[in-house]
Structure formats: C-alpha cells, structure tokens
Amino acid sequence: MPFTPEANENGSEARCLTRVLRDATIGAEGSAERASARLAQRAEEAGLVDVLYADTDSPLGTLLVAVSHRGVVRIAYPEEEEVLQDLSNTVSARILRSTRATQDVRRELDEYFAGRRHTFDVRLDLSLVHGFTRKVLQATTRIPFGSVLTYTQVAGRAGNARASRAAGNALHANPIPIVVPCHRVVRTGGGLGGYGGTIPRKVALLRLEGALA
C-alpha cells in the first residue's frame, strides 16, 4: 500500500509528468480505465504524487480510502463532503486515484467485514491530528477487537483522565474510522455515546465484533 517516491531523474517534475502521461497511454488499447491505472502506477513510481485514493464497498456504504507515503491517512463515509479537497489543503495537492496503492487497506477492510480479521496491519498516517487528539487516537488503536473502553478510560490512557469531553471530540473527528476503532469507545455506565459515522454504524461495528448483543 504505502509507496516510495523516487527521485526525478530529469530534474524537472513537469517534464517527468509529461512523460508519464504519454507512456501511460501507450498500450492501453483505448481503455480509459487501464490508461488511468497505468498513469497512477507510473506517477507513483516517479514520485509525482503524495496521496492516492480509491473507493471500496462495505456493509456501511462505499468508503473512500486514502494513503500517503506514511500510511493510511483518511477513510471517509459516503456522506462526507469535499474529502479530496480537504486532503489537498492539509496534506498535498498532488492527489491521484489508485486501486494499486490502496489495495492493502481495502483488502484488510474486506477481511474485517467478512469476520476474518481482528487487527489491522496497515501503517497509519496521523498527520491530520495533533497534540492530545493524536494521543487519544493512538490509545484507541490499542483497544482489542470485541472490547470497549469508556471516554474517561481513553482520556486517561492519553494522559489526562479528566479530559473525557476532549477525548470525545477527538474521537468524533477521527479521520481514519474503523481502522482506528473509535466505535469501541462508549460512555461510562453503558451508553453508546456519539460516533462521527452515525450511531447505526457504531452499533453495526460493535455487533460485528461481538461487543454488543
């Protein structure tokens, strides 16, 4: 999934991109889809893109997944708007669709929803979050499949047990839901609490993991 940018041999990104566009078309036999895939691969190999994305089907709707050089940077539910524009503003404007670069995370999501995977192995890029929010999400990644913690417990593991409200806000804004399992955090006393991807999806995920009857 993560790709390694290579040095531009000609010293000119513009000339390199022109060559990639030309070469991507050769041998495509008139297929726009195959030409697009070839373009994405050549652009990756030439180090011309920083974020690659693709859609993947799931029981919760079509998800957009995006990866950077560091790892998975974004997973978005269907109703989320301007995801690519936000990535362009916050990560890099060099964005390209690629099923090849995103194949690992899409495969692991498929396995998770099919009940064949309990942990994700893909690397994560948490560069969209900072400070206490990043600590909260890092603590959340360590909650085991089928288990839940309260907002207070997660806040404590992030370094401030009294900051449960801030922890809730951080989880609500989680840019990598499912893989960073914010659905495994609930209210003290057993209430579900909130979820940025809607409560029905939180219920579905917890039921999938056997954490909710």
What would the two tokens of residue 50 be?
């920083």
Buried residues in 1-37 as b, exposed as e (16+ CB within 10 A):
bbbeeeeeeeeeeeebbeebeeebeeeeeeeeeebbb
Catalytic, 182? Answer: yes
Are the CB atoms for 192 and 186 separated by under 8 Å?
yes
* Per annotation, catalytic residue among 182, 185, 205, 208: 182
Which residues are known to be catalytic? 182
